[in-house]
Amino acid sequence: MLQPSAILGQLKDRLAAGLDALPLDRTQGLVSLVLALPRVPATAPQLPGPQFQFLHIHRESLHAGYGSAAEWQADGPDRLRRLATAGRRLRGHWHRADPAGTGFDAFAMLGFAATGDPAPRVDDHLPNALLWVPEVGLRTSEGQAALVLSAALPAARGELRARWEQALERLLPVLYEPIRGPLPAASLTRTFTEPDRGGWSDLVHEALAEIAQGELEKVVPSRRLDVTGTRRFDVGRLLGALSCLFPSCQIIDLRRNGASFVAATPERLLHQRGSELEVDAIAGTAGRAEDTERDAALARALASSDKNLREHRVVIEAVREALRPCCNEIAVPEAPALMQLSNAQHLWSPIRARVAPELDVLDLAGLLHPTPATNGHPRRAARDWLRHAEPFVRGWYTGAAGIVEPDLSGELWVLLRCARVCGNHAELYAGAGIVAGSDPAEEWDETEAKLGAMLTALQYA
């Protein structure tokens, strides 16, 4: 088995040869060079500086990015349109070379906060919306792996070779290190919550009053919980713990300026490849039980619950409404399936459609976000009510993030089961869908169950 030092030497040799295939004298755009790896890393290591990671154990796929070859930021109501303009300028000016024929391509990360409001901002962390091409990308799929080196044009050959070699020298020594197991469980101290239980009850009753008056059909208020650990949280171990606890979820880490935004989300906003589109409709939640019979009873009750089925239908109809002007062959399952996670189970309907050829992932994100599952319905009324009623700014919680291909297709995930992690401090978020018939105490318990996903993982980080 080749050692990292030998792999590094091979990659440097192939890098030098591969530079000849890149049009470095072009005056605009990007270049990317794909270098096959001889074996698949177990995970993506944590390095100093900006990076991101999308890990899906169930699909055995990983995308990670380190550093920045190019990035664009935006805020305000037209943020995705502005990022789309930048992405479309790249579409004909992103030159990629794959000398070994790996089949892997370059990629970018797209992510954005829950709303386009530019302020207040978290000064030391993520901008409002971001399209980000990493300097070094890592892709794994179906037992194969490759690195993707990217740079903005024009680029001098000698300078680019030196910069990419330095990037490889930082990554390769730690790329194949064994996964570090969880630490012994440590206690967490709840230092702050908003709203508190009384405030939550008031918030839900206010929402129910709006629903009774016909102003809203559904709205999704949320809670923020701050916790402090007895040690500095190890983000690599946190991602490992989430992967073990929630193998069917997408595990996400977005790291900039010393802080990480981590999520273990079960919900895809969309997955687009060419004309094919898939969207997850997830709404309606119940807990899990260790006893098999009790767990099955909870599942049956969820599947037959009038309140949860109404909440689920709101999401389905909103997706239909968003897609109808630009899609055809919209297919919805006759009845929702159960998505069962270790700490909760949800009603889930995967919706499929055929997209008009001129639409890309940024167009579709603007149509589908925010979803009724995280915002409410009608969309504008729910958003306006939350802006007034919620006692904190969500930031990237209930935003979305994912991978964008050079042709502007891709996959985005709704940012749920989230925490903003810095040092030994973490801010956690969870919400619950309120419709007619909702009970404040039951909805509080639902948010506690959702918060429990990240709280459990943090104990072992």
Q: How many alpha carbons fall within 13 Å on the CB side of residue 38?
A: 14
Contact (CB, 8 A) for 266 and 281? no
Listed in order, strand segments (DSSP E) in 257-321 are 259-265, 268-273, 276-286
265 backbone φψ class: left, alpha, beta (φ>0; ψ -120 to 50): beta
The rounded distance, in Å, linking the Cα atoms of 6 and 13 is 11
Q: Which residue of the set 135, 210, 218, 443 is catalytic?
A: 218
Q: How many H-runs (helices) and E-runs (strands) does the chain carry?
A: 10, 24
Token duo for residue 172: 């390769």
Q: Which residue of the set 267, 311, 411, 443 is catalytic?
A: 267
DSSP string, 396-454: TTT-EEEEE-TTS-EEEEE--SEEEEETTEEEEEEE--B-TT--HHHHHHHHHHHHHHH
Which is nearest to 71 in space by CA: 82, 58, 55, 59? Answer: 82
Q: How many alpha carbons fall within 13 Å on the CB side of residue 444?
A: 16
The rounded distance, in Å, linking the Cα atoms of 251 and 409 is 20
Catalytic residue flag (residue 218): yes
Which is nearest to 266 in space by CA: 289, 247, 294, 293? Answer: 247
Q: How many alpha carbons fall within 13 Å on the CB side of residue 212?
A: 8
Contacts of 436 (CB under 8 A, 6+ apart): 208, 211, 212, 307, 310
Token duo for residue 332: 């919805």
Token duo for residue 294: 């009790």
The rounded distance, in Å, linking the Cα atoms of 111 and 414 is 10
Contact (CB, 8 A) for 347 and 284? yes
Alpha-carbon radius of gyration of the chain: 22
Long-range contacts at 158-161 (CB < 8 A, ≥ 24 apart): 160/19, 160/24, 161/15, 161/16, 161/19
CA distances from 277 to 2, 339, 358, 386 (A): 41, 20, 13, 29
Catalytic residues: 218, 267
